[in-house]
Amino acid sequence: MLQQMRSGAASWIAKGLMVLLILSFGVWGIADYVSGFGAGGDVAKVGNEAITQTEFADAWRRELAGLQRRFGGSFSSDQALQLGLDESVLNRLVEDRLYGQAAKDLHIAIGEDDVREAIMNAPSFRGPTGQFDRFAFENYLRNEGYSEGMLIAVLRGELARTRLLGSLFGTIATAPALMTNTILGYRLERRLAEYVLVDATKLPDPPVPADDKVEEYYKANPAAFTAPERRDIAWFAVTPAARAAQMQVSDAELHEEYEASKQAYVTPEKRAVEQVVFATEAEAKAAYEAVQKGEDFIAMAARTQKLKPADVQLGLLTRNDLPAAIANAVFAQAPNTVGQPVTSPFGWHLVRVTAVEPGSTKSFDEARAELRQQIALRKALDGMVALRAKIDDQIAGGASLDEIAKAQAASLQTAAGLDAGGLDRDGKPAAGLPQSRDFLAQAFDMPEAGEPVIVDLPDGGIAILKATAVMPSAVRPLAEVKADVIAALQTRARATAADDRARAIAEAVRKGGDLAREAAAIGASVRLSAPLLRSGQPAERNLSPTVVSSLFAARAAGEIVTGPAANAPPGSAIVARLSAIEPADPAAVARQSEATGQQLAGGMAQDLVQQYRRVLQAEFGVKTDAAARARATGL
């Protein structure tokens, strides 16, 4: 076959076609194929610096990969575009260029030592010891899609940006006292109110709406009566725990595992320790002598250091719980004795051991079952990758879900009429669904009767899933939801009646009526609110945010407001009269002044940074190409 192709390529026909191809490129041009996007293909230009499509595409892919790690591999680039990820990536790149050029104009330079220090001190690059770890550094580069040079360039830019903005706005440590105290005075002002709850359920029942009103409301509010999309699904799961039971584990493997993890089967000796610490050796020796002459250890602690018994008792400790010098003394000491003074960086210690809890080591035979389970589970987990690939091949080969399940000796499970939240038609959670956030998402993302899909499970297992039927979302027939429509209309009528009654009571009180008498007329009583803050904390249970806001908008005590009730039967209303205005407590203002001043300073700094960014944008100039950006997201 290859020889035939070579022969054909050498023929005069093939050569003629090649000439035509070359001529066509000459006529139409090849710039788009060589450069990728032709002239003017930069995503943006900031001052005299371009943000190329390649640079934007690299940043886009890194941000998208981060979202996919957070939300799962099914998170698509289309979803990211809908969230505006492309715009946020571009804004960040533009900001980097603006601040970079501003730093250059101000001669702010970042040296090699600055970058090296940033890398050595970055938490992301630290290993188990808390120090810089080359493996952690390289792992970060792989995960984030950076080369070492790219990351150094990014760090250099971030350090320049931090130094630039810090030199300009870093001195704003706290807001002016007048601003802070004024704002706290506003926030911490408290108000009291007396109010009446107009319970919608205690008002006369509204009449049953006529059929034409029912139909009119039904047609005007289709979303309220729309059944969600539902699906019938079938699946089976393969878990490492289930596969572990089938794994063969030899005695040699068990012994090797035991020796490798022997320390895990050792329960260390523990000792109940009492301790008194002295500043000098002389004090410690004097106390030791006093105890040797018969003074009680606890009494000595109280006399010399004013310690209570609870201050002396350290509890049951292992050797690793104590500094080495102290541990050596404690674990060489006989029970119920006080040892010679021992020194440490904290001072001179007198220690008494009051009890010993011996250590123990679980034997190989005692640990055998646990060892087998550990090894078998590890083997099962290791085999999941190969099993996943095998099932993937079966799916690609056209095997049905039932055939794949039988090959794994797994039981096929089904669920009917599920909504996207995993609820059945009765509104109850379906039993037996795998505990994976991706499972239902996949179930509602795949086509009806499409090929099975593999879903990763949190325990390292997999579920093989298929949607067997899809019931699209649709408005339910009026005959089916007529009772719901009538209930909705009556609730609305009750709410209107409660609001009208609340307004009538408010108007009567404004004209000189008595609030308590008006409340009694509807079977209610006047209640006194808890002290109210603008933030709603502590909140009065029945006062909605609308009512609280109206009370704080009132200018003087005695004003009447109305609004919806909270934590009350649907449609209920509130009539409230402002009874007192309490200025902010000066002590509370003083307590919160420092923290609030710092918070306000942070907000001021952020505002100044945004204004500075706009100034830089006007100074350097920023041009963007939406079409180039759209092309770059597909690179």
Phi, then psi, of 3 in degrees rounded to 5: -65, -40
In this prediction, residue 142 has a pLDDT band, given cuts at 50, 70 and 90, of confident
Q: Which 3 state secondary structure label does DSSP give 457?
A: coil
- Residues 102-115 pLDDT 10s: 888 888 888 888 88
**Which contiguous run of DSSP H or E holds residue 341?**
none
E-strand stretches of 257-397:
266-267, 270-278, 313-317, 337-338, 342-344, 347-357, 360-361
Instruction: Specify the pLDDT at position 38.
Output: 40
- Among 57-61, 321-325, 360-364, which stretch is predicted with the lowest mean pLDDT? 321-325
3-class DSSP string for 156-185: HHHHHHHHHHHHHHCCCCCCCHHHHHHHHH
Q: Give the residue from 182, 168, 160, 174 showing the smallest Cα distance to 608.
A: 168
Phi, then psi, of 276 in degrees rounded to 5: -130, 130
Between residues 185 and 68, which one has the greater pLDDT?
185
- Residues 434-483 pLDDT 10s: 988 789 989 998 888 889 999 988 888 899 999 999 999 999 999 999 99
Instruction: Specify the pLDDT at position 571.
Output: 93
**C-alpha angle 317/319/324, rounded to 5°?**
125
Which residue shows structure tokens 């059945």? 424
Cβ atoms within 10 A of the Cβ of 576, count? Answer: 29
Angle at which helix 85-105 crosses helix 148-169, to 10 degrees, equals 70
Those residues whose C-beta lies under 8 Å from the C-beta of residue 32, and which sit 6 or more positions away, are: 38
Burial 204-238 (b: 16+ CB within 10 A, else e): eeeeebeeeebeebbeeeeeebeeeebbbbbbbbb
Burial 184-199 (b: 16+ CB within 10 A, else e): beeebbbbbbbbbbbb
* pTM for this prediction: 0.52
- Among 135-139, 312-316, 491-495, which stretch is predicted with the lowest mean pLDDT? 135-139
| Cα–Cα distance for residue pair 89/66, rounded to 1 Å | 13
Angle at which helix 281-292 crosses helix 297-305, to 10 degrees, equals 150
- Residues 337-347 pLDDT 10s: 999 999 987 88
Tell me how far CA of residue 128 lies from CA of 204, 313, 321, in angstroms: 71, 32, 20
Instruction: Specify the pLDDT at position 539.
Output: 64
CATH 1.10.4030 boundaries in the chain:
44-171+623-632
- Residues 19-77 pLDDT 10s: 333 333 333 333 333 333 344 489 999 998 999 998 898 888 888 888 877 776 667 88
Instruction: Specify the pLDDT at position 537.
Output: 63
Between residues 410 and 130, which one has the greater pLDDT?
410
Phi, then psi, of 513 in degrees rounded to 5: -70, 165
- Mean of the pLDDT values across residues 214-238? 94
Q: What is the DSSP letter of 49?
A: E
Phi, then psi, of 203 in degrees rounded to 5: -85, 160
Instruction: Specify the pLDDT at position 74.
Output: 65
Question: Is 269-358 in CATH node 3.10.50.40?
Answer: yes
Percentage of the chain surpassing pLDDT 70? 92
Q: Give the residue from 219, 94, 36, 193 showing the smallest Cα distance to 549.
A: 193
| Cα–Cα distance for residue pair 283/285, rounded to 1 Å | 6
Instruction: Specify the pLDDT at position 635.
Output: 66
| Cα–Cα distance for residue pair 197/279, rounded to 1 Å | 67
Question: What kind of fold does domain 44-171+623-632 have according to CATH?
Answer: Triger factor/SurA peptide-binding fold (1.10.4030)
- Among 167-181, 187-201, 212-226, 352-366, which stretch is predicted with the lowest mean pLDDT? 167-181
Cβ atoms within 10 A of the Cβ of 609, count? Answer: 15
Burial bucket for residue 606 (CB in 10 Å: 0-12, 13-18, 19+): exposed
177, two tokens: 């006292």
Under CATH, which number does the domain 229-241+381-472 receive?
Answer: 3.10.50
CATH 3.10.50.40 boundaries in the chain:
269-358
In this prediction, residue 486 has a pLDDT band, given cuts at 50, 70 and 90, of very high
Q: Which 3 state secondary structure label does DSSP give 627?
A: helix
